[in-house]
Amino acid sequence: MRILGHALHRILQLSLLLLLLVGHSSSAQSLKQLQTQANKDRDGVARLDPDLFMKHVITEHKDYSVVVQLTALSPVYKCDACKTVDKAFRAVSRGWKKQSSSKDAAQRIVFGTLDMDDGEELFRQMSIEGVPQLVIFPASKGPHAFENPSPRGLTLGAKTSSPEGMASRLGELFGIEIKADVPVNYSKHLMNIATVAAGLYAVFLVYKYVDLRSLGRNIWAICTILFVLLMTSGFMWNRINEPPYVGQTRSGDPVLFAPTNSQQYGIETQIVAATYAVCALCIVALVRHVPRIQNSDQRTFVTFMFTVALILTFSYLNSVFRMKMPGYPFKLLLP
Amino acid sequence: MANKVLGLTAVDQTSLLRIAILGLISIVAIGSRLYSVIRFESVIHEFDPWFNYRTTRYLVNNGFDKFWNWFDETAWYPLGRVVGGTVYPGIMVTSATIYNALHMLNIPVDVRNVCVFLAPVFSAFTAIATYKLGKEVKNATAGLLAAAFIGVAPGYISRSVAGSYDNEGIAIFLLVFTFFLWLRSVRLGSAMYGALTAVFYFYMVSAWGGYVFIINLIPLHVFALLVMGRYSNRLYVAYSTFYVIGTLASMQIPFVGFQPTFTSEHMAALGTFGLLQLVAFANFVRTLLPDQHFQILLRGAVFSLFVVGVGGLVLLTMTGVIAPWTGRFYSLWDTGYAKIHIPIIASVSEHQPTAWPNFFFDLNMLIWLLPAGIYFSFRELTDNHVFLILYSIFAAYFAGVMVRLILTLTPIVCVMAGISMANIFETFLNVRNLPAVETDASTDTTGSGAAAISVSVAEAKEKKKTVDTQSTSSGLSAHTEAGSGSKKSGKKAKGSNKTASKASGTTGSKDAANEDASTLDAPLTAVTTSAAAAVRKPASKNQPPNPAMPAFSPKRLYALFPKIVVMANFLYFLCMFQWHCSWVTSSAYSSPSVVLASRSPDGSTHIIDDFREAYYWLRKNTKPDAKVLSWWDYGYQLAGMADRVTLVDNNTWNNTHIATVGKILASDENTAYELARRHDVDYVLVVFGGMIGYSGDDINKFLWMIRIAQGVYPDDVKESDFFNSQGQYAIGESASKTMLNSLMHKLCYYRFNEVMGPQAFDRVRKQKLPSSVTLDNFEEAYTTENWMVRIYKVKDLDNLGRSHRAVSVLEGPKTSRTMF
Amino acid sequence: MRVFASCVYLVLGGALLSITEAKSATGDRVLVLVPKAESSKEYSQVIASLDKRGFDVTLAQATNTSVSLHNYDRRSYDHAILLSPTTKKFGAALTVNDFIRFVDDGGNLIVAVSSELSDFHRKLSAQFGVEFEKRGMLAIDHINNLKEGNASDHTVIASNRFTDIPAVLSPQFVKADADPVYFKGIGHKYDAKSPFLIPLLAGKRTTYSRLESGKSNTAQDDSSLSGSSLGLVSVFQARGNARVAISGSTDIFSNALIKKGGSGNHRFVDDILQWTLQEKAVLREVGHRHYLTSTGEQPEHYRINNEILYEIDLSEYHNNAWHPYSANDVQFEAIMLDPYIRATLNRTQSADTKSTAAYRGNIKLPDRYGTFTFRVNYKRTGLSNIDIKDTVGIWPLRHDEYPRFLSAAYPYYAGSFAMVVGFLALCMAWLWNAEPSKKKNAAKAKSE
């Protein structure tokens, strides 16, 4: 946010400077240039270079608005955010292209992208530290002029990085409705339908041929227990809050357990589920397996083995809990 | 007789012990919930309880008829609230009944105390209900263990400590007991138990919105049984009775009304009911058709019907014929839903998903006894166990999604844990005929010894009876028939044992004793063995002594050793569990957030009583019909303690109204003033923790207020405006303009630096304060000892129609009337 | 609650009746502040008329330190007349706030200034939305002025541009060619938007405002004010019905101008005094009640769609007595955030007393429950405000008040009874038709 603010400031300076340097070309033709540039691209996104940018985007007097995406798409930079944002951006642009061609062409918005590769020094001038960014250069005159035509940034949250989110945000910014054009993913739908059908058929098969009461029972048992283990070890929390899979210390070596008891890492649930499972297993073994053993010495040994296993696992669980919850008074073997 | 102690046979002794143990469990259950009363006083806790308490008082004073038609003008001003129709009256009626009963017995007890101690008392009932449930699904051992567990499990204590006078307090008891009755009615197929289930279901409906869980779980159970081909007339009788009576009864609660006929939550039950009728009819048809033809017909029909039913349900819901799922319920299924759509739900902390420490915190070792229990239930898969398994699955899922729903998970966890523990005990506390452990083991597969032994008998007995049922129902019902039969025969065995022990020395007395002993409960094995030994002695006269028998031979000790170790281990676990529970209860769940306690360095506790101070001030110093505006969290307390008119309260039924309040607090002084005047607000109450570092204050809740307001007034309130240029939610100098001008900010920090000095900073936010806060349209009326609650008066319009700003400029700084 | 209220009305009524001996509806203690003791002669006419009308007038020098408006936080006077424009410091350090408080407590105030007014007056009158011209400026009119003697500077202007408010001004001023009022003093800018302020007398088209002749009059000293935007005399009524009159000229109260023949001054000053000192155009609500039409009782709360009667008694004070106030625009409102009902109350001659007029309305309550405010908010320019509010709860129907046996539901009734009958019939059939051997099947079939 701060970065962006700073950048905007710089952009303003630049634009002023530019006013002094280049006399502004008539907005009509500069719009034309931009649009020709835009039409080169099938998504209607004008690929800008510093020259275009300077001339036609950062001009005070223009009766069209430009939405510029500052990004670094080339794989060199390994910027995943850029890719997602770019995807959304292009979807929105496509949508706008459709829309403007059909009805409301009066409001003139041009979508442009400025890539690190094309405008590196420009980036430096504007002292942009973070990509991707979305900057809007609103029209300063004409029917759709903004009262405050200074360029403004669009914070790219989780929501605004999705095509719909970005479209709606831009829409309310320009006070019109912008629809993103998201390509319908038929294969996905087909897949879903197929899976559902397959699932139903599988259920049917199971029901028809497998004897649920003997073999089936074990399968069911395993599934159920796994499910319950997942649920009781905070799986849903992960699904909703999407924490990192593993934590990291400053020095960068992994941390398995989040220090507070209101947080948890992805791996944490798995470990915990495992410990639960082991404990349960010991119980089951003690009850079902041990008495079956004929040889009494062997039986004694196995009994001890499982008991010890149980104690150790539980105390491990306990110590982890102590770590997560300082001041928990009880401990078992392990600190 | 030899085997009599105090003139009681073994059976009587066990039942006596059982009662004694249950009694003790109840005492522990009640006792462990009294921390808050001992530490603070007998006071109603938190927020919702205050509403329940207030309504209970109304009920006690004005009688049921008035209560039923009560329209509360003092809540949700000026909309008002139809209390009679928007409340689950179960808990109020319960405590009012208790109150009246006590007074009829000339025991002059205060309503408040009835309310405070209601939950603990019901927790004792819960323990007993859980015992019945455990006994129903396994045996008395499991039952007692389960009871012991739920008596102290923090997961349940969290909602049932003395003073937390809330629906859950009695609802959990009803939940468990309803399930117990349901299982029994399914096992016996008796319409009476079905009806009883319905009655308690009705009670549950009247007590808690969680009844939806029952009305979805039981049909699911039925459906599962049908799919497993376990249809039986018993199931038919039980469910039909339950559903018809239960639904009709539940519709008598105004708040529920006709929902059972059209909302999606209740459709499953309806569908299952229809399905069951069809299946019953199908079975009837089957008696007229050759078998192999029929099989195909049936399966096909069941599935197609199911698909059609679900499809229809979805369709109807989509077309809006059936009311769409209510928000809270939605947030259970589509986990992302609440976060995006319903801030009012997302804002409540107890609606957040559950991290694993919560589970361990609330259930400790039980949580890993649950899977074991599930496994054991799968071993012996009677109808009851199917139910238990379904219950665990769903409860686990819901508990995972919402913290508060650990509550519904706790009972099943306790039962499952009870089952696993019982298995352990039966295996390792069984010190009879050691070499013959294998037989025990083998019998364990089919549940308690008695069942196994008498299955054959039972089959023999049941042959005639089962003939027709077998013809109607598929093969497995026979097994359960046998199971139920076995119980009968088990009883018979006991009976025979009595006679046998009278005529001791007869053959058959031995296995009678065995049967007897094995039907008894593990914790009592000491007794039973003594009894068994007592029976055995005379028997051993005319039989050669068993080589393994001689007492305390080293061999026997050696054989005993592992068992002793295991038992010692588990006993220690149990102790740890108990410690854990009491620690959690005392440290986490026993503070009535109305009164706070802070521990000063020298260890002495210092009671912070600002809330009641403020409410009492309002009660004593304002007009009886003064309207007090505050965030909805404090609505119930205001109504209950200050007895003043509130705009919004914890019953969040009108989002718009709440949003309006949020808007008032979030907008600048003049806008706020206009809105406040429009709503006839006399006083504004804010909770502020910056002075003593109380983090649960309004500034921290402010973001939610903004979000909720934004949801309704997107043009007037914008969340982004409240973040400063660094994009952080700050207060004081670094805060954004909108934040500084917002009413909430002004009311909280007005004259704060006067008391904290120039370099004052907020003890919660740890940030520098704004240098000066001006206030024109509102004047400070009262601020509590620790500045936790601040009350402001909304100024009247100026007599000369000048703006308050101008007036205060003319009159210069006013000397405030707060007292310190 | 209601009982209590009515008691209050009784007491109030009694009190008011007892003081109707006096001229004013609100009391008869008048404080007149003059610059110097002898200057009272100048205003003898006004003072005499007040005396004659039964006020007890306290004449005091403005700077006299013993003068105070309040005594132990109670008003010591009911009316105050300020005739000393130049005074900077009144009595024992009376501040502007003291005067404001005086007005807030219901005291009436007349402020008369001249072109040499002190900042105190400027500040005070600013509180009422009146902004005087710069010190030393005068309202001047070269066409309409006092044509006599050596009045060449045209500072005694004649204006008959009155704001036509019958409540304040007597009818003779209403007509277009009314006798002008001679005015000598400073004009002011009045806040035209203020609902409290009435610019009673404003300048004619040819009137403008400039520094007195002799003083240097540079361009920037000219004020933009002229014509009707140049207020001369304005009156003000506060929310609490206290009344204030502000005149840019002390002279119109002086004998000299009052005596002027062919002018409306005498009448005009009289009107101002009478109105400001609450001798006329004073409204009050004597009592109001609302009750169910059916029972005639007032329940503690109504139910939705109830038929109720709302009654209110109004009376107006003029010529020393309370008379029935008659109007056709008295409105009743039932408000919950927004008005749900707005109905005009009709005068019912029958219920009139000699001092009150009764207004009544048949009202059907809305089909909406909640806490409503019954409000009669009667505000008319020049008349004192009446704003009566009662908060009333409107409850939903009781569980047994809903209509039963709807004709639309007869099929359902029929259905359920048919069900019952059928069930009984079936039971009997099974009980008596099954042969012993078939008992089982019977039992089974029954469970289908």
One DSSP character per residue, B79-119 reads: T-EEGGGSS-THHHHHHHHHHHHHHHTT----HHHHHHHHH
Position C267: which residue type? Answer: R
Average of per-residue pLDDT across C208-223: 64
Cis omega before residue B78 (within 30°)? yes
Q: Which of A217-226, B239-248, B588-597 has the highest mean pLDDT?
A: B239-248
Instruction: Give the whole-angstrom CA distance, residue A302 versus residue B437.
Output: 15
More confident residue, B591 or A28: B591
pLDDT at B97 over 90: yes
Q: Are C364 and C311 in contact (CB under 8 A)?
A: no
Please, which residues have CB within 8 angstroms of residue B59's CB and are 6 or more apart in sequence?
B67, B92, B93, B96
Q: Look up the CATH number of domain C282-395.
A: 2.70.50.60
Instruction: Give the whole-angstrom CA distance, residue B115 versus residue B111.
Output: 6
Tokens 């020298």 belong to residue: B602
Closest-CA distance of chain B to residue C223, Å: 25
Which of C194, C238, C398 lies at the smallest CB-CB distance from B799?
C238
pLDDT at B684 over 90: yes
The 8-class DSSP code of residue C166 comes to T
More confident residue, A50 or C274: C274
Which residue in chain C has the smallest CA separation from B806? C127
**Predicted confidence band at B374 (pLDDT cuts at 50, 70, 90)?**
very high
From first CA to last CA, the distance across chain C in angstroms is 64
Encode pLDDT of B454-513 as tens digits: 333 334 344 434 333 333 333 333 343 333 434 444 444 444 444 433 433 333 333 433
Query: Between A and B, how many CB-CB pairs are < 8 A?
Result: 179
- pLDDT at residue number B539: 40
**Predicted confidence band at C62 (pLDDT cuts at 50, 70, 90)?**
confident
Task: Give the count of alpha carbons within 13 A of C21, CB side only.
Answer: 5
Instruction: Give the whole-angstrom CA distance, residue B131 versus residue B21.
Output: 11
- pLDDT at residue number C215: 57
More confident residue, A185 or B195: B195
- pLDDT at residue number C170: 86
- pLDDT at residue number B324: 54
Q: What percent of chain B has pLDDT over 90?
A: 34
pLDDT at B393 over 80: yes
Beta bridge partners of C82: C33, C111
Give the C-alpha distances (Å, rounded to integers) separating A89 from A56, A155, A160, A167, B175: 20, 13, 10, 8, 52
Among B291-295, B529-533, C332-336, the range scoring the smallest mean pLDDT is: B529-533
- pLDDT at residue number A42: 76
Q: What percent of chain A has pLDDT over 90?
A: 8
CB contact under 8 A, B427 and A218: no
Instruction: Give the whole-angstrom CA distance, residue A162 versus residue B1.
Output: 84
Which of B69, B78, B236 lies at the smallest CB-CB distance from C447?
B236
- pLDDT at residue number B93: 94
Q: Look up the CATH number of domain A2-174.
A: 3.40.30.10
Examine chains B and A and say if they touch (3+ CB pairs below 8 A). Answer: yes
pLDDT at B620 over 90: yes
Encode pLDDT of C410-442 as tens digits: 999 999 999 999 999 999 998 887 666 555 555
Q: Does B805 touch chain C (CB under 8 A)?
A: no
Encode pLDDT of A126-166 as tens digits: 766 667 778 888 777 766 677 676 777 776 766 677 777 78
Instruction: Give the whole-angstrom CA distance, residue B449 versus residue B490.
Output: 10
Closest-CA distance of chain A to residue B243, Å: 27
Average of per-residue pLDDT across B655-662: 89
Residue A163: which H helix or E strand, with range?
helix A163-174
Residues of B in contact with A263 (CB under 8 A): 355
CB contact under 8 A, C448 and B68: no
Examine chains C and A and say if they touch (3+ CB pairs below 8 A). Answer: no
pLDDT at A62 over 80: no
- pLDDT at residue number B793: 93
Q: Does B350 touch chain C (CB under 8 A)?
A: no
Residues of A in contact with B355 (CB under 8 A): 234, 237, 261-264
Tokens 């079905």 belong to residue: B194
Give the C-alpha distances (Å, rounded to integers) separating A266 from A216, A243, A247, A273: 31, 6, 9, 11
**Predicted confidence band at B199 (pLDDT cuts at 50, 70, 90)?**
very high
Which of B365, B440, B723 lies at the smallest CB-CB distance from A314?
B365
CB contact under 8 A, B562 and A286: no
Encode pLDDT of A277-300 as tens digits: 999 999 998 888 888 888 888 888
Encode pLDDT of C236-258 as tens digits: 999 989 999 999 988 888 888 88
pLDDT at C18 over 60: no
Tokens 């296993």 belong to residue: A309
- Write out the E strands in B612-710: 627-629, 645-646, 683-687
Beta bridge partners of A115: A71
Residues of B in contact with A296 (CB under 8 A): 559
- Which site among A228, A238, A264, A332 would you substitute to test the B interface, given the most B Cβ atoms closer than 10 Å to its Cβ? A228
Among A3-7, A305-309, B281-285, B396-400, the range scoring the smallest mean pLDDT is: A3-7
pLDDT at B123 over 70: yes
**Predicted confidence band at B336 (pLDDT cuts at 50, 70, 90)?**
low
Q: Which of A63, A65, A59, A19 is nearest to A46 (CA)?
A: A65
- pLDDT at residue number B618: 93
Q: Are A235 and A229 in contact (CB under 8 A)?
A: no
Buried/exposed code over A209-226 (b: 16+ C-beta within 10 A; e: otherwise): eeebeeeeeeebbeebbe
Q: Are B659 and B667 in contact (CB under 8 A)?
A: no
Residues of B in contact with C398 (CB under 8 A): 69
- pLDDT at residue number B370: 92
- pLDDT at residue number B700: 87
- pLDDT at residue number B513: 39
- Tokens linked to B664: 């008032």
Topology (CATH level 3) of domain C8-276: Rossmann fold (3.40.50)
**Predicted confidence band at B676 (pLDDT cuts at 50, 70, 90)?**
very high
Q: Does B809 touch chain C (CB under 8 A)?
A: no
Q: Does C240 touch chain B (CB under 8 A)?
A: yes
pLDDT at C14 over 90: no
3-class secondary-structure state, position C359: strand
Chain Cα centroid distance, residue C55: 24
Cis omega before residue B770 (within 30°)? no
Q: Are B496 and B489 in contact (CB under 8 A)?
A: no
- Tokens linked to A24: 């502004």
Average of per-residue pLDDT across C203-230: 73
Closest-CA distance of chain A to residue B479, Å: 12
Instruction: Give the whole-angstrom CA distance, residue C237 versus residue C246.
Output: 11
Encode pLDDT of B750-766 as tens digits: 888 787 776 777 888 87
- pLDDT at residue number B480: 38
**Predicted confidence band at B518 (pLDDT cuts at 50, 70, 90)?**
very low
More confident residue, B808 or B759: B808
**Predicted confidence band at C20 (pLDDT cuts at 50, 70, 90)?**
very low
Encode pLDDT of C278-316 as tens digits: 988 899 999 999 999 999 888 989 999 899 999 999 999
- pLDDT at residue number B464: 38
- Which site among B681, B799, B811 would you substitute to test the C interface, given the most C Cβ atoms closer than 10 Å to its Cβ? B799
- pLDDT at residue number B692: 84
Instruction: Give the whole-angstrom CA distance, residue B492 versus residue B726.
Output: 80
**Predicted confidence band at A215 (pLDDT cuts at 50, 70, 90)?**
low
Q: Which of B132-141, B312-321, C348-357 has the highest mean pLDDT?
A: B132-141
Q: For residue B202, with 0-12 CB atoms within 10 Å meaning exposed, 13-18 middle and 19 or more buried, which class applies? A: buried
Among A12-16, B72-76, B200-204, C383-387, the range scoring the smallest mean pLDDT is: A12-16
Query: What mean pLDDT is reported for chain B?
Result: 79
More confident residue, B132 or B525: B132
Residues of A in contact with B382 (CB under 8 A): none
Q: Does C193 touch chain B (CB under 8 A)?
A: no
CB contact under 8 A, B357 and A324: yes
3-class secondary-structure state, position B720: helix
Residues of B in contact with C373 (CB under 8 A): 78, 680
Average of per-residue pLDDT across B219-230: 88
More confident residue, C438 or B81: B81
Closest-CA distance of chain C to residue B472, Å: 10
Report domain extents, chain C: 8-276, 282-395
